[in-house]
Structure 1
Amino acid sequence: MPEELQPLTGPDRVLRGEALDRLVDLAAGGDERAVQALRAVVAGYRQFDPEIYTRGLNRLWLFGDATLEEPLLVALADEQYGCQAWTARACGQLGIRAAEPLLIDLLEHPDGLTRESACQALGNLSSSAAIQPLTRRLDDPAEFVRAAASEALADIGSDDALTSLWAAFESRRFSRAGYLASALARFGPAVFERLVQATSHRDPEMRFWAARALGASGDERAAEVLTRLASDDHSTTGSGARVSTAAKTALKTLRRIHEREPR
């Protein structure tokens, strides 16, 4: 084992962490030996404590490259090591398409963090094969996984992905649908008219979240609709939130988006 890696395998957890931090600092400064050492941690992950491996992957942008594809695929399938959530995220960040089948399988993993990371990675890969598996995760028992699946479908951005998100939005199976509204807003003109129509829905929950989505869309045509809702629609959702309040918040969001746009 190279000399610079030996402190990462010592018996003291604190010293191992400090040694890793030194390597990270050196790599950030352009030290090629430190970059190669961090790659070696990933390539030989079984030689290191999972904490060292996962903390290393959290700095993947410093050293990640195509040479890590094979060891990451091995680690992604390694259930005993217990680091599939971090490995999944790394595969997405590096665009490792060969990981797609394993990532789709991980959408059914018992650990919520692993399911979340698999969603995020499949979104990064724009995996059309994952649309239906991701759609099933829109009913995940964990809200943060449902949110990750929604964002992944928005990342994929296809008509099928939009269909899945809209079906979940219309079903109103969960009262907190902010993640669906945010994901739908990313489809821009493709979903604008549907959202406008939803602001006239008989269910105030639907109107509430449609208003939020219109604000997040950044489409200036939404201002007129949102102004009307803010003034006239004082209905409340099951949680007691007012549609008019959602519209006012959406108008603020719309203004912030336009203020950030280059002139």
Structure 2
Amino acid sequence: MNQAAVFADAGLQEPLLAALGDTRYNCQAWAVKGCAAMDIRAAVPQLLTLLDHPQWIVRDETVTALGLLGDASVVPALAPLLGDQADWLRQRTADALARIGGDAALEALWSEFEHRRFPRIGYLASTLALFTPEVLPRLLAAADSPDPDQRYWAAVALGSTGDDQAVPTLERLMAGDRGVTVFDGEVRTAAKKALRTLRRIQAAITERETTKAG
């Protein structure tokens, strides 16, 4: 099924859509994967019904597929999964929302970042960074939060933006923030690592642009 996009046949669309609802042969996960690989957007309504499927692999493939095939209309169905007890599902959901993009997806991710329900939210930090430059003012403000956990994750996200506007804030946190998170993470250490990440991203962009120019 990984090669479905290569050997795509329009005649497969109808059987794949039918297979999404077929519980007899335990093939729904593969049907979901096939629909995603073949860009079958007509599958979206059925995919939404599979988000609470009892099999984890079906939920996994469904969230990923909705990130590829869905638009802003599926965000309300995906957003609650950011509060799921399974960390892998929260991460898949954040990735899907980032891929969909747009204001609704950003608001869903930001709400979870701001009203944190889990101690480790690196997946939110990395996906929020993908909304640069729109998200930068929010992240810079979060870096001034009285909550050390929010400052910590804001620093992580700012590093992943690769944006020079984040540098003064990260340098300030690295130099003077003695805050510690609920899992004993130091804000200044997060800021130091974030600066390294930011520089690596910038170096990679410069190298890529130089290669293209050459």
Note the alpha carbon deviations across 1:226-261, whole angstroms, 9 max, x for none: 111111112111111111111111111111111111
Is 1:212 aligned to 2:180, yes or no?
A: no
Q: Say which of 74, 77, 80 aligns to 1:133.
A: 77
1:80-118 deviations in Å (ceiling 9; x for gaps):
222322321221222111100111111111222221211
Counterpart CA distance in 2 for 1:172 and 1:160 is 18
Looking at structure 1, the residues matched to 37 and 5 of structure 2 have their Cα atoms a distance apart, in angstroms, of: 8
Q: 1:241: which partner in 2?
A: 185
Match of 1:196 in 2: 140
- Displacement of 1:207: 0.7
- Partner Cα distance (2:78, 2:101) in 1: 13
Residue 107 (1) aligns with residue 51 (2): yes
> Contact (CA 8 Å) 1:112, 1:142: kept in 2 or not?
no
| Residue type at the aligned position of 1:111 | Q
State yes or no: 1:87 paired with 2:31: yes
Task: Provide the alpha-carbon RMSD of the alignment.
Answer: 1.4
- The one of 3, 6, 14 equivalent to 1:70 is 14
CA contact (8 A) 1:106 1:118 kept: yes
The answer to whether the 8 A contact 2:178-2:186 is kept is: yes
- Contact 1:185 1:213 (8 Å CA) reproduced: yes
1:184 correspondence with 2:128: yes
- Give me the identity figure in percent: 46
CA distance in 2 between partners of 1:219 and 1:90 (Å):
37
1:159 aligns with 2:78: no
Question: Is the CA contact 2:41–2:70 (under 8 Å) kept in the aligned structure 1?
Answer: no
* Consecutive aligned runs of 4 or more in structure 1 exceeding 6 Å deviation: none
Segments of structure 2 that go 5 or more residues without pairing to the other structure are none
| Inter-partner Cα distance in structure 1 for 2:103 and 2:124 | 16
Counterpart position of 1:48: none
Contact between 1:88 and 1:117, CA under 8 Å: does it hold in 2? yes
Counterpart in the other structure of 1:149: 93
Greater RCO (Cα-Cα under 8 Å, separation 6 or more): 2
AA aligned opposite 1:149: T
Q: 1:83 to 1:141 in 2, by over 3 A?
A: farther
* TM-score normalized by the length of structure 2: 0.91
Q: Which residue of 2 aligns with 1:170?
A: 114
Q: Deviations over 1:178-235 (max 9, x none)?
A: 1111111111011100000000111111111111111111212111111111111121
Distance 1:250 1:86, change over 3 A: farther
Counterparts of 2:27 and 2:149, CA distance in 1: 39
Structure 1 residue ranges without an equivalent (≥5): 1-56
Mapped contact 1:126–1:155 kept (Cα < 8 A): no
CA distance in 1, matches of 2:98, 2:183: 27
